[in-house]
Structures are given as C-alpha cells and as structure tokens.
C-alpha cells in the first residue's frame, strides 16, 4: 500500500472511529450522569454530555497506529 492510499485509509478509518466512538461516549456520559449543565454563563439550554474528547482521542490513536505501521 502506497503513501497516498495509507493516508486515505487513515482519514476514512479515523472518521468512522470518531463517529462510532462519539455515540459510545454519549452513552457512557449518560450512564455516569457526566453532563455539562446549563447556567447563566453558558449558551446551551439543555445538559450536554462530556467525553467528546475521548472519541477524538480514540480516533487519533487508531490513525496514528495505522500510519506508524511499517510494511
């Protein structure tokens, strides 16, 4: 697999992992009641689940592992 193909595969895989991990992070936040609650100083009107960074980090790690692999 050439460099261009590996980069395309990494981008696609990273997007898929981030998409799936986001739903898992939302469910996990719901199970542990881990929400950012609205207040006077915040723009959102409903509780917003935390852990989105976990989904982004998971996709980053998967992509880095894919790109670091030598063939």
Is this structure's pTM higher than 0.85? no
Whole-number Cα distances in Å, 65 to 14, 39, 40, 55: 11, 40, 42, 16
Per-domain boundaries in the chain:
3-68
37, HSE (Cβ side, Cα atoms, 13 Å): 3
Tens of each residue's pLDDT in the chain, 71 residues: 688 888 888 889 889 999 999 999 999 999 999 999 998 888 888 998 889 898 999 999 988 887 786 65
Is residue 51 within 8 Å of residue 28, measured between CB atoms? yes
Q: 25 burial class (0-12, 13-18, 19+ CB within 10 angstroms)?
A: buried
């Amino acid at each position: 697999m050439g460099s261009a193909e590996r980069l395309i595969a990494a981008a696609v895989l990273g997007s898929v992992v981030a998409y799936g991990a986001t739903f898992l992070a939302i469910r996990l936040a719901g199970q542990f009641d881990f929400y950012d609650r609205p207040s006077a100083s915040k723009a959102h009107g409903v509780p917003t689940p935390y852990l989105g960074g976990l989904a982004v980090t998971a996709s980053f790690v998967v992509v880095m592992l894919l790109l670091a692999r030598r063939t």
